[in-house]
Amino acid sequence: MPLTCRRVGTSTYGSAIEKTVTDRLDQLAGDRSTNLQAGRDINYGPTVTEVIEIAELTVEARMDRLRGIAGQEAEKRIRDVLSMVGVSLDREPASVQEKAKDPAFQFALLDVEKAYAASGDVDLATRLTEMLIDRTRREERSLAQVVLGEALIVAPKLTPRLFDAVTALFVLRYVTFTGARDPSIVIGILRQHLAPFLEHWPHSQAEWQHLAYTGCGTLDLITGFDIFDSLRERYKPALDHVDRPSFEATLRLAHPAFTVLLDNWEQNVAKSFTLQSVGLAIAHNNWQRVTGERADLEIWIS
């Protein structure tokens, strides 16, 4: 029986981004050029063209502040990320492309440009592009749209380790999959959806404090949650009659990362960290990117 996240269906917001960032950046031709992908037609309608042209004019107006090699590199990075956004936006329905002409979109796009111009991190550019497009799909001034706008500002402040930290907590504490009929299925879910984010576990107290500083969540060292109790509450009746020692022993055998997780849990402040809206949005984006799953953000933010 296929497993799906509770209340999850196929996204109604258009197809997922199919190409990797490297593919997209390798495609880039000259400035103001139109790039074509082999195997599919790309037709930049007037809406997408206008959006990118407006953004390019804004870039040109700001480039006078940067001089020499630094300015040239920043301009190149910005044009690269604009091309990436254009390719992604072109895949969206006309209704979404029309929203991209709004000033609010241009301001959000400026956040993406600034982050990539400063870092040159292609992986970060992909994350920000996905969140920007997802933000544009949302109803104007909806909570999800506002949160995704804030996530565009916060995400550049996180290291790859911290993306994994919030995502691991997201899966461990906030995601419930339907179809888990027995303990083996629950462990299979964790192996598929949690283990990929435990490569850098455990994280230091300073890292969790930084996540709290950025607004991804709150840290309350007085409280904490228990892994087994949380799983048993969310995966009824699969774990109703399972005792902790046998479940944890089986979990340790399922993946080496689970042993590290369990051995360090009581001493790690992760147990006292609660994700807030921005942290949930960033974790949701990272989880979808890594696992290929699709779930409506409004399950957690509505």
Q: Is residue 268, in this structure, part of any structural domain at all?
A: yes
Which stretch of DSSP H or E encloses residue 277? helix 277-291
Is residue 4 in some structural domain?
Answer: no
Last residue of a domain, one of 98, 129, 157: 157
228 and 152 housed in the same domain: no
- Copy the structure tokens of residue 220: 């309350």
Which pLDDT does position 194 carry in this prediction?
97
Six-digit token string for 206 = 């300073």
pLDDT (0 to 100) of residue 19: 34
In a domain? residue 2: no
Query: Tokens at residue 85, please?
Result: 């956004």
* pLDDT value, residue 131: 97
pLDDT at 20: 35
Which pair of tokens denotes residue 238?
Answer: 């699969």
Are 211 and 269 members of one domain? yes
Percent composition of the chain: helix, strand, coil (DSSP 3-state, to 5): 65, 5, 35
Cα–Cα distance, 256 to 261 (Å, whole number)? 9
User: Based on the domain organization, do 125 and 166 belong to the same domain?
Assistant: no
Same domain, 278 and 188: yes
* Whether 164 and 295 share a structural domain: yes
Do 214 and 107 reside in the same domain of the chain?
A: no
**How far is it, in rounded angstroms, from Cα 268 to Cα 285?**
24
Q: Is residue 169 domain-shared with residue 103, that is, in the same domain?
A: no
Per-residue pLDDT at 73: 85
| pLDDT at res. 18 | 31
Domain co-membership, 182 together with 74: no
The domain of 214 spans 160-299
């996540």: which residue's tokens?
Answer: 211
> Total structural domains in the chain?
2
Task: Based on the fold, state whether residues 84 and 177 are members of the same structural domain.
Answer: no
Tokens of 38: 């082999």
Q: How confident is the model at residue 292, as a pLDDT?
A: 93
Verify that 25 and 114 share a domain, yes or no. yes
Max Cα distance, the chain (Å): 68
Taking the C-alpha atoms of residue 59 and residue 50, their distance in angstroms, rounded to an integer, is 14
Domain boundary among 136, 157, 178: 157
pLDDT value of position 65: 56
pLDDT for residue 60: 54
Contacts of 150 (CB under 8 A, 6+ apart): 215, 277, 278, 281
Say whether both 172 and 122 belong to one domain.
Answer: no
Tens of pLDDT along the chain (302 residues) come to 444 565 333 333 233 323 333 343 344 333 333 343 433 444 444 467 766 766 665 555 555 555 555 678 888 898 899 999 999 999 999 999 988 888 899 889 999 999 999 999 999 999 999 999 999 999 888 999 999 999 999 999 999 999 999 999 999 999 999 888 899 999 999 999 999 999 999 999 999 999 999 999 999 988 889 999 999 999 988 999 999 999 999 999 999 999 999 999 999 999 999 999 999 999 999 999 999 999 999 999 98
Q: Are 19 and 42 in contact (CB under 8 A)?
A: no
Domain boundary among 129, 157, 185: 157
- Residue 6, pLDDT score: 54
